[in-house]
Amino acid sequence: MAAVSHARPVLTGLAGFLAAAALPVLLWHRAIELVASDFRFELGYLVTGWSGYGLIGLGLLLLVPVVASRGRRPDTRMYPRRRNALIGWGVSLYLLGAVLAGQVAAVAAVN
CB under 8 A, 24+ apart: contacts of 44-50: 48/104, 49/104
The tens-digit pLDDT sequence of the chain (111 residues) is 444 466 777 788 889 999 999 999 999 888 888 888 877 777 776 777 789 999 999 999 999 998 888 877 788 787 788 988 999 999 999 999 999 999 988 987 765
pTM higher than 0.85: no
CA Rg, the chain, in Å? 17
- Are 63 and 90 a contacting pair, CB within 8 Å? yes
Question: How is residue 89 annotated by DSSP?
Answer: H
Q: Give the E-state strand segments of 1-111 in sequence order.
A: none
Burial class (CB in 10 A: 0-12, 13-18, 19+), 8: exposed
- In the chain, the amino acid numbered 14 is L
- Are 90 and 17 a contacting pair, CB within 8 Å? no
**Interacting residues of 75 by C-beta distance below 8 A, sequence separation 6+:** none
